Chains A and B, each alone.
Chain A
Amino acid sequence: MSAAPDHDENHPHDLAHHFDTHRQQFDAGKLGMWIFLVTEILLFSGLFCAYVIYRANHPEIFIYAHQFLDKNLGALNTAVLIFSSLTMAWAVRAAQLEQKRALVRLLSITLACGFVFLGVKAVEYHHKWHDGLLWASQYNPKHHDSAEHNEAGHGAESDGEGLHGEEPKNVGLFFSIYFMMTGLHAVHVIAGMGAIAWVLNRARKGHFNRRYFGPVDFVGLYWHLVDLIWIYLFPLLYLIH
């Protein structure tokens, strides 16, 4: 309890002056982080809303355009993010148990996964750029030779043809939504990697212990949310049927 106000000798250096106990500090931080995650979910909600509106009103655009996305790369990135979530959750455990070496390693692996994810994303963006598959005002596809595309491995659907059907109007809108969603997600991945790098540095300096590991946990929550959003983006964008 608050019997002794914080005159420094009694107040541990890793407990902020306005908290009485480590537990109170941790609970406040965790609640704050969850509420921040709520704001992140609502930030993305606008893009999901745009997606749903256009998909419901113009399904033909989505069915046509998703063939240009590479399912395999999408699945690879999903796996990478899920694996990084595992190492992140494990890192939180290591921080709680004061396993400093494991903590540093696990955070490093998580960070590396972030780089892999971004690398794959960059490859995908490069293809889109090259093929002129860009957002509405820049949409200028160079795929009229559909055989070429088949060979590139895109859109091998169950009925075995190349690109199905006529190109509908306003296909560029799909790529607008695709770039906004994956782009905003990538920004979050980068922000998460920055945060992981920060706790990694602090972990190396031995700042964390069984009563003070909040930053690892909170960064972890953020990273899991980024994973969680990708779990929806993957089927919504890549696996349209």
Chain B
Amino acid sequence: MTTEAATASSHDDHEIAHVMPLPVLFGVFATLMVLTFLTVAATWVNLGWFNLPIAMAIATVKATLVALYFMHLRYDAPFNGLAFLTALVFVALFILVTLLDTIAYKPSVDAYRDANSVSAPQ
């Protein structure tokens, strides 16, 4: 490809980034497909509230596989993974604190709605 000048200069000899072996890629793909099937299959069984944690757990396993292998995080500079995890921590912070508050004030909103019989739209 690049037969132009200066390619041979001794920048750094080893690879710039890890090359993912094909068996790993295919293995991850197969696992992801199986997990997708599992998450659909889990809805065939009625486990009550427990269905949601199962679905989220499966999704998280899938997401972890994608991040570690397809996105190379396992072989990458640790800071990139740290940035990714930090994002998730802040998402959790945002959602959980807001959830905490909305759950806490919901009774007063409902009470107001009932007392004033604010009707649903349409």
Q: Do A and B touch, yes or no (CB under 8 Å, in the complex)?
A: yes
Q: List residues of chain A with CB under 8 Å of any chain B CB.
A: 9-14, 21-23, 26-27, 30-31, 34-35, 37-38, 41-42, 45-46, 48-49, 52-53, 56-57, 71, 75, 78-79, 82-83, 85-86, 88-90, 92-93, 96-98, 100, 136-137, 139-140, 158, 169-170, 172, 206, 208-213, 217, 220-221, 224-225, 227-228, 231-232, 234-236, 239, 241
Give chain B's interface secondary structure class: helix
Contact pick for B121, options A45, A83, A136, A239, CB 8 Å: A136
- Assembled-state Cα–Cα distance A13/B6 (Å): 9
**A30 x B76 contact (CB < 8 A):** yes
Residue pairs across A and B with Cβ atoms less than 8 A apart, 7 shown, are: A10-B9, A158-B45, A208-B1, A209-B2, A217-B72, A232-B63, A239-B51
Cβ B16 vs Cβ A22 within 8 A: yes
Size of the B side of the interface (Cβ < 8 Å), in residues, is 66
Choose from B7, B25, B45 the contact partner of A90 (Cβ within 8 Å).
B25
A12-B67 in contact given A90-B22, A235-B39 (Cβ < 8 Å): no
In the complex the two chains form, is B6's CB within 8 Å of A10's CB?
Answer: yes
Nearest A residue (CB) for B70: A89
**A11 to B5, alpha carbons, bound, how many Å?**
9
A56 touches B103 (CB 8 A): yes
Residues of chain B contacted by A239 (CB below 8 angstroms): 39-40, 42-43, 51, 55
Query: 20 additional contacts, CB 8 Å, given A31-B80, A34-B83, A42-B90?
Result: A9-B5, A11-B6, A23-B11, A27-B77, A30-B17, A30-B77, A37-B84, A37-B87, A49-B95, A52-B95, A53-B99, A56-B103, A96-B17, A172-B121, A211-B11, A220-B70, A224-B66, A227-B66, A232-B63, A239-B39
A239 CA / B44 CA spacing, docked (Å)? 10
Q: Chain B residues with Cβ under 8 A from A57's Cβ?
A: 102-103, 106
Collect the chain A residues with CB atoms within 8 Å of residue B80's CB: 30-31, 34
Interface residues of chain B, those whose CB is within 8 Å of chain A, are 1-2, 4-7, 9, 11-12, 15-17, 19-20, 22, 25-26, 28-29, 32-33, 36, 39-40, 42-48, 51-52, 55-56, 58-59, 62-63, 66-67, 69-72, 76-77, 79-80, 83-84, 86-88, 90-91, 94-95, 98-99, 102-103, 106, 120-122
Decide: B99 and A82 in contact? CB cutoff 8 A: no
Contact B91 A45 (CB under 8 A): yes
Cα of A3 to Cα of B44 in the assembled complex, Å: 66
Give B19's nearest chain A residue, CB to CB. Answer: A96
